[in-house]
């Protein structure tokens, strides 16, 4: 966005995160729910990637799988790899996952109150998180509790919480929703992670506060050299913080494009539907549910294109699964009817 610091591009560098043909199902009473079906994407160091799609398309399941936070059972990995800096998160084991979550990957969520304990002060909780990070560090590098308190004040300052020292004594209920999200961001970044996974971090906030939190994430990205995976159903959020975006539909990736390509040349009919639902000045906002129809039942997924039943362009060829194919530099789409390079976005 204009006026924002640019972030050195490391496109072409080895990916920090590489999701390869990842498949995951939930074992339920009704059968096997095939939530994620063979998704692949890369995130370069320093890059900010958005994952967008309607409710239930598999965004949070993907985010939690990356950080190893999905309880199994009922979740069951059915194939693929999630490589973080070359290590497969699906196979490293809980002890190593905890270490990676403490040091390298942090996550923030929609509702900060769920992750803050109402009976402890902000200071106690933030210092506890900082101390927990120390346990996975070599003994000589560990911080003592008084230094952790100083670090907590420093982190609260970096997320622009007014009077950081005084806020240490505040209880979560004494803070507004936006301030609580700032505290959670301070907690997430206190271990100096390389990757921040943000799952709908602004959805519960009102619009002005949303913009402030997105600005903060962008600012911290520059300051900490962070990679960001931003999960949202809101293309406006993606437009303001992401370099690239993958569009998910019913547990699959249907489009993967740079921001500019996505907005100027959307190729998948589903992406076009999402974009049509983005509010414009002078045009009333439609909701994402304005795309007629609903997600297919993944207990018995349709063969072929999963968007077929909702797609105005669908034909007989759409009964075969469309492979994800490059249509331009930095732009892939899975659709038999997608426009080619020359007429995309027409």
Answer left, alpha or beta for residue 235, where phi above 0 means left and psi between -120 and 50 means alpha: alpha
Residue 60 within binding range of ligand ATP, rule CB under 6 A: yes
Assess contact for 250 and 307: CB atoms under 8 A: yes
Mark 50-69 with x for binding to Mg ion (rule: CB under 5 A) and - for no binding.
Answer: ---------xx---------
- State in angstroms the smallest separation of the CB of 110 from ligand ATP: 8
59/306 with CB nearer Mg ion = 59
Footprint on residues 9-28 left by ligand ATP (CB under 6 A) = 26, 28
Residue selected from 22, 33, 109, 336 as contacting ligand ATP according to rule CB under 6 A: 33
Query: Whose Cβ is closer to Mg ion: residue 59's or residue 265's?
Result: 59
Residue with token string 């069951």: 76
> Taking CB under 6 A as the criterion, which residues in 203-242 touch ligand ATP?
233
* Site track for ligand ATP across 275-304, x = CB under 6 A: ------------------------------
**β-strands 87-88, 48-52 pairing:** unpaired
Taking the least distance from each CB to ligand ATP, the nearer of 26 and 336 is: 26
Give how many residues touch Mg ion by CB under 5 A. Answer: 2
Say which residue the tokens 């390509």 belong to: 261
> Which CB atom, from 10 or from 203, has the smaller least distance to Mg ion?
203
CB nearer to ligand ATP: pick between 174 and 289:
289
| Element of type H or E holding 227 | strand 227-232
Q: CB-based contacts of 246: which residues, under 8 Å, 6+ apart?
A: 39, 41, 49, 50, 51, 52, 253, 255, 256
Of Mg ion, ligand ATP, none, which one does residue 22 interact with (CB within 5 to 8 Å by kind)? none
Nearer to ligand ATP, 46 or 58 (CB): 58
CB-based burial label for 28 (10 Å; 0-12, 13-18, 19+): exposed
CA distance 172 to 302: 46
Q: Are 118 and 171 in contact, with CB atoms under 8 Å apart? A: yes
Work out how close the CB of 329 gets to ligand ATP at its nearest, in angstroms, rounded to a whole number: 28
# of chain residues touching ligand ATP (CB under 6 A): 14
d(C-alpha 286, C-alpha 283), whole Å: 9
Count of CA atoms in the C-beta half-sphere (13 A) of 90: 20
Q: What is the closest distance, in whole angstroms, from the C-beta atom of residue 108 to ligand ATP in the complex?
A: 14
Output the DSSP codes for 165-212: HHHTT--GGGS-HHHHHHHHHHHHHTT--SEEEEESTTTTS-HHHHHH
Alpha-carbon distance of 88 to 113, in angstroms, equals 31
Binding segment toward ligand ATP, per CB under 6 A, in 52-60, 237-245, 274-282, 305-313 = 52-60
Which residue, 56 or 225, is less far from ligand ATP as judged by CB?
Answer: 56
| Interface mask toward ligand ATP for 237-276; x: CB under 6 A | ----------------------------------------
CB closer to ligand ATP out of 218 and 233: 233
Q: Alpha helix locations (H) across the chain?
A: 59-66, 94-103, 112-115, 122-135, 145-158, 164-167, 177-189, 207-224, 235-241, 259-264, 269-276
Site residues (vs Mg ion, CB under 5 A): 59-60
Site residues (vs ligand ATP, CB under 6 A): 26, 28, 33, 35, 53, 55-61, 74, 233
């Amino acid at each position: 966005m204009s006026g924002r610091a640019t972030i050195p591009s490391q496109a072409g560098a080895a990916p920090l995160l590489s999701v390869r043909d990842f498949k995951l199902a939930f074992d339920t009473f009704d059968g096997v729910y095939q939530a994620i079906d063979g998704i692949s994407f890369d995130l370069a160091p320093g890059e900010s990637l958005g994952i967008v799609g309607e409710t239930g398309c598999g965004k949070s399941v993907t985010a939690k799988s990356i950080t190893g936070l999905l309880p199994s059972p009922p979740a069951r990995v059915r194939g693929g790899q999630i490589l973080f800096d070359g290590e497969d998160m699906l196979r490293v084991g809980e002890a190593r996952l905890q270490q990676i979550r403490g040091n390298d990957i942090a996550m923030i969520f929609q509702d900060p109150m769920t992750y803050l304990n109402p009976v402890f002060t902000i200071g106690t909780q933030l210092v506890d998180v900082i101390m927990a990070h120390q346990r996975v560090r070599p003994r000589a590098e560990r911080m003592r509790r008084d230094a952790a308190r100083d670090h907590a004040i420093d982190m609260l300052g970096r997320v622009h919480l007014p009077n950081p020292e005084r806020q240490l004594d505040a209880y979560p209920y004494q803070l507004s929703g936006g301030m609580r999200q700032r505290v959670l961001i301070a907690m997430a970044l206190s271990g100096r992670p390389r990757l921040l996974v943000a799952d709908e971090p602004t959805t519960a906030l009102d619009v002005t506060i949303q913009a402030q939190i997105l600005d903060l994430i962008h600012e911290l990205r520059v300051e900490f050299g962070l990679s960001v995976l931003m999960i949202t159903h809101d293309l406006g959020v993606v437009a303001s913080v992401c370099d690239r975006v993958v569009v998910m539909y019913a547990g699959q990736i249907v489009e993967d494009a740079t921001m500019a390509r996505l907005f100027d040349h959307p190729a998948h009919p589903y992406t076009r539907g999402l974009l049509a639902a983005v509010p414009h000045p002078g045009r009333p906002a439609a909701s994402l549910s304005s795309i007629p129809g609903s997600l297919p039942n993944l207990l018995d997924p349709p063969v072929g294109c999963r968007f077929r039943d909702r797609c105005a362009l669908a034909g007989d060829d759409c009964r075969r699964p469309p492979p994800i194919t490059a249509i331009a530099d930095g732009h892939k789409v899975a659709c038999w009817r997608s426009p080619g390079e020359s007429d995309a976005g027409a």
